[in-house]
Structures are given as structure tokens and as C-alpha cells.
Amino acid sequence: MNTQLFHILNLVIILVVFAFLVRYAWDIFFSDKYSPVSWQHAKKSGTINDKLVSLEKKYPDKVRFFNFWFQVERLKKDKIPGAFAEAGVYKGDSAKILHQMDTGRSFHLFDTFSGFEARDLVYETGEAATYATDNFADTSVVKVLKNIEGNDNILIHAGYFPDTTLDLQDEIFALVNLDLDLYIPTKAALEFFYPRLSPGGLIIIHDYNPKWEGICKAVDEFLTGKPESLVVIPDTDGSCMIIRNSK
């Protein structure tokens, strides 16, 4: 094979691979090919707002996104009462999605908005053992509220959890999203929110995988003796759910 023909074949192969990559990226971000039938039907019927449609296109973890959506739709259908909450807000990306899925719910957001507390890092192992107090500190209440673009139902609780829950002892919750990364705050959040969950309400815990040993430990310890079974979600970083028994 002469050199010119060899270069031509290489160029053809590169162009074919590039075309496949472009098509894959297009499908991921713009096509409904990988979205559930229920979502496609809801879009066509106009029951999903434009902001949420745009967020779905941009959000890389489709499994996590659609699990949020299916759960929120279930809460609406079954008329499960209660507020939404998120502990571990960071820049507000997941909170923005959950708010757009049900803008009529009060939505309590808990975070230090200044990174981790040293006292919560002491007992960490696994991936979280590499963290320092300045991790996830590049955020603020102002930045989060600007990102979410929400209504008056967004309620900020800045500070150390669970100290920031003192005024919410009588609140009930329908959905709680935990993304706290560490054992101590995750355990504290489960202990606070679980008894305040409406029957049929749920807690979603992010990073339930072997890399985040503290998360797995907190969840497994907490569920010991509880009547609920853990539901594991195959999203990118691993999530799990506790759905409160209706009995």
C-alpha cells in the first residue's frame, strides 16, 4: 500500500469515528431516544414546563434526572403532602431541577455554603478521607438562588446541620434529597427527616457506592430495624431511596 492511500484510509477512519461521536452527542443532548415514554408523552401533552425540558437536555446523568421526575410525579398523583428538602446543596443544580418539577412545594435548602466542618471529617475513610474544609466552599446563598431562579417557596437554611432545623420540628416532608458526602451529616439528616416523612414520601441519598464508605455506613446503620427496604438506583454515582411505608 502506498503512502498516499494509507493517509487517505486513515482520514476516512477518523471522519467516520468523528461522525459517530457527533451523532452520539446529538442523541444524548437533543434527542428523545434515551428518554422514557412517559416523559415523551408528557412533553407532547404540554404538562412539562420549558425550563424543565431545557434542564433535562443539559443534565448529564439521565438516570438520576428521570428518577427525580418519576418520584415527583408519583407524589403528585398520590397526593402525598409535605415540603421538599435538600441537604448538601452546593451550587444548587439538583435543587433547581427538583424545584422545577413541582414549583408549588415549599423547598427547604440546607448547606453551610462555606465547605465542610472539620468535626465532620474526623472519622471519614475512602474517597471522603481526601476532603478538607475548603472543599465545596466555592458557592454562596446568592449564587445558589441566582442559579435556581425559583419563587418564594425556596427557603434557605445556612449553617451547620442539624442546628439549622430547630424551627422545623413540626414540618412534614414528601421528598428529601441528601448529597452530604460524609457520614456524620448524612446520619444526622436521616435521623431528622425520616420521622417527619409523610407515608409514601421518600429520602434519596446520593453517592451510595463503595467509594463513599461513610455514606454506605450511615444508610446501612440507619435502616437496621426499620420496616422499609432500600431501593438502589443505577445512576452514575449511585443513589438509593428510602420510601416511607404507608402503614
**In this predicted model, what pLDDT tens digit does every residue of 223-239 receive, in sequence order?**
999 999 999 999 999 99
Q: What are the CA-CA distances from residue 150 to residues 99, 142, 154, 217 (Å)?
A: 7, 12, 6, 34
Per-residue pLDDT at 247 exceeds 90: no
**Domain chopping of the chain, boundaries:** 1-31, 40-243
CATH architecture of 40-243: 3-Layer(aba) Sandwich (3.40)
Beta strands in 150-225 (DSSP E): 154-158, 173-178, 197-206
Closest CA to 185 of 80, 111, 235, 126: 111
What distance in Å separates the CA atoms of residue 215 and residue 172, rounded to the nearest whole number?
24
Is residue 28 within 8 Å of 56, Cβ to Cβ? no
Q: What is the pLDDT of residues 105-120, one digit of tens each?
A: 999 999 999 999 999 9
The kind and range of the H/E element at 85 are strand 83-87
**pTM confidence score:** 0.87
